[in-house]
Structure 1
């Protein structure tokens, strides 16, 4: 009899999902407690679909989370996954009574809120209309109708009366846009949350949410350096409940640290990560990120990679990082190899294999790819098994620079001698009274309205 779990992950693999065979370092219960809102279910479902070790545990937790909410479609989805992965589990059966009861309750609540909103509109009370749209939008979001939720959150904006209301509208719309993976829509909503410095307390409290949302949206668009800067600028003094519908404090440390390693040089990492007092607060619960950055800055590149490889499994189970882990890690590895080779003109492949070897890909093949992509300037000697770095000869570089300077000096000298000869012969180009001023067209003098005056 075939293993149901093996069959489940075979299907996931065929659908293009990431399958993680190793156990992560985090405890699932402690991990998921860092979040609130709909992201809890999304994260649990992703882990259930991806982690061989945590599959059933995560799917059962996602099922419990779905039943605590109102989204019947989510419940159907997770039961279907559980039915394939663990068909003998008692929860792998549809609770038809709950489904029918929840569908009826959702319909009744929708009608009630629509009726209330209609009454508020008839009374023309702006505050009531705003609250009516907010209640209806939150209801639509809770039942999974994100398009309707976004529509009614947007309808709140004309009726806002305070800075807090304006910020709340932006947060709602940003949260829905991120759930829908509409990264381009995140930025206009964030822009409209700006208060122009008129309400410093409200702006400070919303700053981490804005930075986290900006970073997530930029990460979704593969803009790693800009995303790193957003995460590195988050304010640690604001409680995590201000943004844990999107990410946790641990996530900010991981996202910011990894993206900084992938895109910044050693000086930038030292100044913007290790010496950044605000970001160091985020790094406290994720000390391995700080160690990895420190190793890179100190030139211990193989140790940096070893630390990160130990946590690859965890990052492959992150809802925002999963699709980017391979690319981010490849960028970090490439940077490490390039920095490692800088002091040397020649390094053996065996030495590089020992420092950066990976069971997935031979170092020679990796170096060839880096050279082809112009990330590394080097040549591989396959016979002697050496990597010869392409160095610029300082003497040749100095001579070339001197020749350019000499040519520029010669041109300037000839021009000055020409002007001196004209002045010595008492020849001048004088403007006529009609012209009044010299006209210069494309660098040449126009002689049409000029006369030569002999001294």
Structure 2
């Protein structure tokens, strides 16, 4: 089996796949129980194609999950991977009888639903047409025809009659768009859902909207926007309302990681550690809370150590995998900058002890940060020192004094104009339109005198 696994991951590497050789911190059976629907297969299949220790087990579970559904294309993909990775496993043999029976059943069901929908359209009953489109779209989604499913879900909109039905249509379209990784379409569908509910419905659907927006922002690498969306999700709403998107642990990990990558210490304290609304999520991922607390406390190497120990887990997540390198790079850069801020000079040995590793030389990383402008410092290779560029307090004081003088002059001119108007017994009217050529006082004076 070792040779076949090597061949499989060589193939994955040639296809620019992510290979995770370290075992993750989760138990696969317990982990996958947190998900339902097509997300279960997606996560199992990704783990099977990426994790060396869990490859065979994950692919076998993915095959079993595919056979419980109707998507024969997924079944073929999973079996094909297992045939390369572990050809001796019983599941690595195609169940041709099941494939043929399922393909025939899928075709028959599609034709039946199309015929029913045609009858509903002839009868011109809006509710029946809406339900017919929904049944057909759910079937198309279950067999993996996501393009047709998206189009059919969209056809439900003209026939909806209640706010709940409109929300259901939006959720269907968001779910399919996420599966297709169409992040702009996810945001568009969510925007249409935003104003479609009453105050009571808005509270119930709030976590779904926030988490889905966060996933879309993450997909587009807008890390701070994604963090704010995840952190504003209400953890007091039951997870069943957003379970098709992510688990509570996922929300805590996404929100905490992206906050570490995009927020400063004060923002982390306020938006993560002191966020009562997000606390229930954080309880499901205590290591994320520890990492954030270590960063806020100035223990940057401890924060990075926690995150590095969970890197294999995050590399096996369907939304995080492509972004982990960028997220970790931003977090490391922030930690290094914050570490150097109080000092004018730090030895490279000290920096290596705090941030280096067996395969990572801190000197190269510092040089890249300096070249990119992220770090204002110099590296003394002779004395093995990192010297930060100290701010010039004299220049800062002069800039501050100039800004104060300019503000004082502007306020003085405004007051003189108002005094002149009052002395001339002229009325001062409010102005709603903006004037790009002068101050508001200038415009009021012109209108009053003109």
TM-score by length of 1: 0.88
User: Tell me, which stretches of 5 or more residues in structure 2 are unaligned?
Assistant: 414-436, 439-450
How many residue pairs align between the two structures? 415
Residue matched to 1:4? 4
Q: Deviations over 1:132-171 (max 9, x none)?
A: 0000000000000000000110000111111110100000
8 Å CA contact 1:231, 1:252 repeated in 2: yes
Q: 2-side partners of 1:303 and 1:88: how far apart?
A: 44
CA 1:112–1:340: 2 relative to 1, 3 Å: same
1:100-119 superposed matches below 5 A: 100-119=100-119
TM-score by length of 2: 0.89
Residue matched to 1:355? 354
User: Tell me, which stretches of 5 or more residues in structure 1 are unaligned?
Assistant: 416-441, 444-455
CA 1:165–1:389: 2 relative to 1, 3 Å: same
Query: Match of 2:91, SS?
Result: coil
Q: Rg: which structure is higher?
A: 1
CA 1:201–1:406: 2 relative to 1, 3 Å: closer
Matched, 1:324 2:323: yes
Residue matched to 2:343? 344
8 Å CA contact 1:345, 1:388 repeated in 2: yes
Residue matched to 2:273? 274
Residue matched to 1:204? 203
Residue matched to 1:294? 293
Residue matched to 2:212? 213
Q: Deviations over 1:32-72 (max 9, x none)?
A: 11011101000000000000000000000000000000000
8 Å CA contact 1:163, 1:195 repeated in 2: no
Residue matched to 2:58? 58
Residue matched to 2:181? 181
8 Å CA contact 1:12, 1:49 repeated in 2: yes
Residue matched to 1:452? none
CA 1:352–1:87: 2 relative to 1, 3 Å: same
8 Å CA contact 2:236, 2:280 repeated in 1: no
Residue matched to 1:48? 48
Q: 2-side partners of 1:171 and 1:214: how far apart?
A: 12
The Cα shift of 1:265 comes to 0.4
Residue matched to 1:222? 221
Q: 2-side partners of 1:32 and 1:193: how far apart?
A: 29
The Cα shift of 1:398 comes to 2.4
Query: Match of 2:106, SS?
Result: helix
Residue matched to 2:381? 382
Matched, 1:307 2:302: no
CA 1:201–1:362: 2 relative to 1, 3 Å: same
Bigger fraction of residues in helix: 2
8 Å CA contact 2:380, 2:387 repeated in 1: yes
Q: 2-side partners of 1:3 and 1:92: how far apart?
A: 16
